[in-house]
């Protein structure tokens, strides 16, 4: 642990602003003296006590509830004191200042300061203490922040499952199986005369195959969880007057973007987050793509291309009412060519044929472009929107969320990918004629380390700093 991890800490634990209740939290070793100084009496552990909170002169700041949780039975694993007062920002700042002031008062019994070194907590430091004191692992710690930040019900439920340890349980089960396999390989290295016969008798290849199958299932659920947490950036692109703004409004169910028959109405991006089956979609309407001499419109078009290049999925909007006009077809081809250069091959592009309600019957039969997903709809009437929503989820790999999905982050998915690569290398070594058992053992060790990165068993201090700094202060 770093030196700062031994300091007692205090912070306002509720969100900024006014509310019915606000909480000031203190965590550290040996808080009994601070409890006595602040509350004027000892507190019964884990029992709420209603009392006045007074300043150094004995004047009341507020009245509320005080709760004391002795170590190790607390959120952080240290002694924890919570003062629950009215949720006005001035009141809470006064209470926090009183905690810091009381910590530096002399204890009447010993003459020493009540709680030397008490300081304001850094972002995420309470949860970091919980992790360092083995109350939770790193995946559970991240799930706390994800539960707070959840933008959909499905994301909140998945974060709650991760917080309860569902994701960690899966990782620990993989780790235990991996350790058992490593044990077999290491034992074989210790007795080289046995070598591959010993591994065959122990069915090492079967154990590795089962491990790879289990890992594939965990990776699939983690990828679903990452979609729930991160959401999907969807960019609507196409020529002017294809109905991009109308489509954004239809998907959002609100008049967010200005819609007019005038080409070039949208000059800058308009963004709205919606949800489909609990998956957040960050939908961005962009300026119409064309050659323009208007400086403002050109800037908007450049920004549109920037958004398209960074999208998770692109809705390439086509106007069915103009799909037989030669100039429109040529301009669409130019946009398609530029899009092919700027959009990664891994990013799905959906061809959306809009204005089906006012297109000629022959135009409604327009064919799908290449092998890409294609949807015909009317942003004005809403016909075909359900198909578009379902297609969007399909192309990004979302499946109907079962109860077993847990929240996950991009780093979890990357770590599981690294595990899969190391296991694949291990399998290649095991299947080779005259396998190099030392290389096999090393691949298994690296796979275990990658799993440990998820739960924090092998995480660096730099990684921990990045993770916990993203938390709010007081959590």
Instruction: Say whether 14 counts as a known binding-site residue.
Output: no
Instruction: Say whether 209 counts as a known binding-site residue.
Output: no
Q: Which domain holds residue 287?
A: 232-311+313-395
Residues written for the chain: 475
Domain boundary among 352, 373, 395: 395
Residue 299 lies in a domain: yes
Instruction: Say whether 355 counts as a known binding-site residue.
Output: no
Instruction: Say whether 265 counts as a known binding-site residue.
Output: yes
Closest CA to 236 of 291, 317, 305, 300: 317
- Angle value at C-alpha 57, between 53 and 60, nearest 5 degrees: 30
Instruction: Say whether 376 counts as a known binding-site residue.
Output: no
Same domain, 350 and 327: yes
Same domain, 319 and 378: yes
What are the tens digits of pLDDT across the range 185-212? 887 776 655 555 667 778 888 999 999 9
Tokens of 251: 């998907």
Same domain, 84 and 198: no
Same domain, 170 and 239: no
Count how many domains the chain has: 3
Same domain, 249 and 217: no
Same domain, 390 and 414: no
What are the tens digits of pLDDT across the range 118-152? 999 999 999 999 999 999 999 999 999 899 888 88
> In which band, very low, low, confident or very high, does the pLDDT at 28 lie, cut at 50, 70 and 90?
very high
Same domain, 270 and 243: yes
Which run of H or E residues covers position 201? helix 195-201
Instruction: Say whether 49 counts as a known binding-site residue.
Output: no
Domain boundary among 101, 136, 171: 136
Burial class of residue 439, CB neighbours in 10 A (0-12, 13-18, 19+): middle
Q: For residue 318, how many C-alpha atoms fall within 13 Å in the half-sphere facing its CB?
A: 30
Instruction: Say whether 449 counts as a known binding-site residue.
Output: no
Instruction: Say whether 246 counts as a known binding-site residue.
Output: yes
Residue 462 lies in a domain: no
Instruction: Say whether 244 counts as a known binding-site residue.
Output: yes
Same domain, 426 and 333: no
Instruction: Say whether 231 counts as a known binding-site residue.
Output: no
Residue 152 lies in a domain: no
CATH number of residue 40's parent domain? 3.30.1360.120
Which run of H or E residues covers position 350? strand 349-354
Which residues face 113 on adjacent strands?
Answer: 106
Residue 150 lies in a domain: no
**DSSP string covering 298-315:** HHHHHHHHHHHHT-SEEE
**The three-state (H, E, C) secondary structure of 95-164, written as one string:** HHHHHHHHHCCECCCCCCECCCCCEECCCCHHHHHHHHCCCCCHHHHHHHHHHHHCCCHHHHHHHHHHHC
Lowest pLDDT segment from 114-123, 301-310, 320-329, 402-411: 402-411
Residue 469 lies in a domain: no
Residue 169 lies in a domain: yes
Q: Is 160 left (phi over 0), alpha (psi -120 to 50) or beta?
A: alpha
Instruction: Say whether 264 counts as a known binding-site residue.
Output: yes
Give the chain's count of helices (H) and strands (E). 15, 12
Instruction: Say whether 397 counts as a known binding-site residue.
Output: no
Instruction: Say whether 287 counts as a known binding-site residue.
Output: yes
Same domain, 241 and 163: no
Look at residue 1 in the predicted model and tell me its pLDDT. 52
Instruction: Say whether 64 counts as a known binding-site residue.
Output: no
| Backbone φ, ψ for residue 349 (5° rounding) | -115, 125
> In which band, very low, low, confident or very high, does the pLDDT at 304 lie, cut at 50, 70 and 90?
confident
């Amino acid at each position: 642990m770093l030196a700062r991890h031994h300091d007692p800490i205090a912070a306002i634990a509720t969100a900024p602003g006014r509310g019915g209740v606000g909480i000031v939290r203190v965590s550290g070793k040996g808080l009994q003296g601070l409890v006595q100084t602040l509350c004027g009496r000892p507190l019964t552990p884990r029992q709420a006590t209603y009392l006045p909170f007074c300043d150094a002169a004995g004047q009341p700041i507020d009245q509320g509830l005080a709760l004391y949780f002795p170590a190790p039975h607390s959120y952080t694993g240290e002694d924890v004191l919570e003062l629950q007062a009215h949720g006005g920002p001035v009141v809470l700042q006064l209470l926090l200042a009183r905690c810091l002031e009381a910590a530096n008062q002399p204890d009447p019994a010993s003459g020493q300061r009540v709680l030397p070194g008490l300081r304001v907590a850094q972002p995420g430091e309470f949860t970091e203490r919980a992790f360092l004191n083995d109350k939770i692992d790193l995946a559970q710690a991240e799930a706390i922040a994800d539960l707070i930040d959840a933008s959909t019900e499905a994301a909140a439920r998945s974060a709650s499952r991760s917080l309860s340890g569902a994701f960690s349980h899966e990782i620990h089960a993989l780790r235990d199986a991996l350790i058992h396999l490593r044990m077999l390989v290491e034992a074989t290295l210790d007795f080289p005369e046995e070598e591959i016969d010993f591994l065959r008798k122990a069915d090492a290849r079967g154990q590795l195959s089962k491990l790879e199958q289990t890992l594939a299932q965990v990776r699939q659920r983690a990828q679903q969880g990452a979609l729930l947490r991160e959401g999907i950036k969807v960019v609507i692109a196409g020529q002017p007057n294809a109905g991009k703004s109308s489509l954004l409004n239809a998907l959002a169910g609100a008049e967010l973007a200005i819609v007019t028959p005038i080409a070039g109405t949208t000059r800058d991006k308009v963004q709205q987050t919606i949800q489909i089956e609990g998956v957040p979609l960050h939908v961005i309407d962009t300026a119409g793509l064309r050659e323009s001499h208007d400086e403002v419109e050109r800037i908007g078009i450049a920004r549109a291309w920037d958004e398209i290049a960074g999208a998770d999925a692109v809705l390439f909007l086509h106007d069915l009412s103009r799909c037989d006009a030669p100039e429109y077809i040529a301009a669409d081809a130019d946009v398609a060519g530029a899009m092919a250069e700027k959009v990664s091959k891994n990013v799905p592009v959906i061809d959306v044929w809009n204005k089906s309600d006012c297109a000629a019957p022959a135009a409604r039969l327009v064919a799908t472009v290449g092998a890409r997903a294609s949807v015909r709809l009317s942003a004005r009437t809403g016909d075909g929107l359900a198909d578009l929503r379902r297609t969007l989820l399909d192309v990004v790999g979302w499946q109907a969320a079962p109860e077993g999905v847990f929240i996950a982050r991009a780093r979890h998915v990357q770590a599981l990918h690294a595990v899969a690569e190391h296991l694949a290398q291990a399998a290649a070594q095991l299947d080779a004629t005259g396998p190099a058992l030392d290389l096999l053992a090393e691949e298994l060790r690296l796979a275990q380390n990658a799993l440990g990165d998820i739960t924090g068993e092998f995480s660096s201090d730099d990684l921990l700093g990045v993770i916990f700094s993203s938390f709010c202060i007081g959590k």
